[in-house]
A and B are shown apart, each in its own frame.
Chain A
């Protein structure tokens, strides 16, 4: 199942989840292999407050790092995921070779998710972020792996 940007999916027992090419957006994949619970969430922007006021309404919380993390983690907990043993992987946050700061959405998103992890107490996570390359994330519940693919490179998996 493809997880669209600005949404998440949580699966139990079996199935696979995947993102489209991430660009500067960031995917967070969480997998508890023992309980066979996995989830994938893709956010696009760091926070609602970077939008102008009159445009900020009506956009889903899951579009933003700061508002989307908690509902995603809650959905995983409700299914029975144990975060002490779960794998956390973030991927994406691509950046142009050179660009004015305002275009460095990848850099801003990376900084934001790291900060949120710190304040949420998530300290053990893998990251595959930054650089100019596109990435895709796959999560396979039965095999118990999270995989990050970059074209022309070997896939990395956890």
Chain B
């Protein structure tokens, strides 16, 4: 077991870095009075991020009348939180378009699951009037990035994990830990640490399936809830399915009433479907 663990952590070094452009842009966006010309200057040097960003903006669910073709045009139309959301999504797309055969997911499903989680996180931030939501978006979009590492390096062991979940009624995380000595949340958090992400994001990714840790902050609880709701809807649901536990006080920690939950599910699903259909059209 320890050998596998060493191997996974060693191999983390071979995962390509998170794009420097994205880091610089996100740092600029932390400032409420960001200068959009500066922001465009930073982003436009990365053609992939720019293209992804514009594609997402044009697919978005707030019905832009005409096609957005340039960064300044997009910035003029979007709010700060929307820019953050699409920028992070545009960067995350580079990592989240790989098949996860061990988890039984196509690249498209992995991407949809991440985007779906981002959409629900954005909706929750809106409802709860959380002003600085960029850490929540980032953590929501990247929460499963550890699965990419686990899948890349230990594909064969995942059959054993699935068997443990099936036969022993363990949660998927418990089975990952038994077989690999670690789980996709720990590995994801470690990857983000090496990439230099802020602690709050690392913690939320680490906590997204841990019933105790997720309750320790609003960011981690919101990301965990967004993931729970996306999973309930089956969006890009992997072999792990709903093999997890939901702590009783999660809604209380976030500040959401029980009776609001189904409204959030309905609204989030409508937004997600819209984004998905428009992405497919392009």
Residues of chain A at the chain B interface (Cβ within 8 Å): 4-6, 20-25, 44-45, 50-52, 55, 59, 63, 92, 94-100, 102-103, 105-106, 132-134, 151-153
Contact = CB atoms under 8 A, between A and B. Distances in A.
A24 B244 CA distance: 14
B269 A5 contact: yes
A44 B237 contact: no
Given A97-B244, A99-B246, A132-B241, A23 B232 contact: yes
Given A102-B258, A103-B232, A151-B104, A52 B242 contact: no
A45 B234 contact: no
A49 to B, nearest CB: 10
Nearest to B166: A152
Interface string B241-271: 1111110101100000011111101110110
Interface string B213-237: 0000000000000001001111111
A22 B139 CA distance: 25
B184 interface: no
Contacts of A24: 232-234, 242
A102 B251 contact: yes
Contacts of B269: 5-6, 44
Given A21-B234, A23-B232, A44-B233, 18 more contacts: A24-B234, A24-B242, A44-B265, A44-B269, A55-B266, A63-B266, A94-B242, A95-B242, A96-B242, A96-B244, A96-B245, A97-B171, A100-B246, A103-B261, A106-B232, A132-B242, A132-B244, A133-B241
B245 A45 contact: no
Contacts of A152: 104, 159, 162-163, 166, 239
A45 B246 contact: no
Nearest to A64: B266
Contacts of A63: 266
Grouping DSSP codes into helix (H, G, I), strand (E, B) and loop, the A interface class, with mixed when no group exceeds half, is: loop
B194 to A, nearest CB: 31
Interface of B: 104, 109, 159, 162-163, 165-166, 169, 171, 228, 231-239, 241-246, 248, 250-251, 258-263, 265-267, 269-270, 273
A97 B166 contact: no
A21 B230 CA distance: 11
Contact of B238 (A50, A94, A100, A134): A134
A151 to B, nearest CB: 4
Contacts of A97: 169, 171, 242-245
A23 B234 CA distance: 4
Contacts of B250: 100
| Residue with the greatest number of chain A CB neighbours at <10 A, chosen from B109, B234, B245 | B234
A94 B241 contact: yes
Nearest to B242: A132
A152 B159 CA distance: 8
B104 A103 contact: no
Contacts of B246: 96, 98-100, 103
Given A94-B242, A134-B241, A51 B234 contact: no
B267 A55 contact: yes
A24 B241 CA distance: 10
Given A45-B262, A152-B104, A23 B235 contact: yes
B183 to A, nearest CB: 15
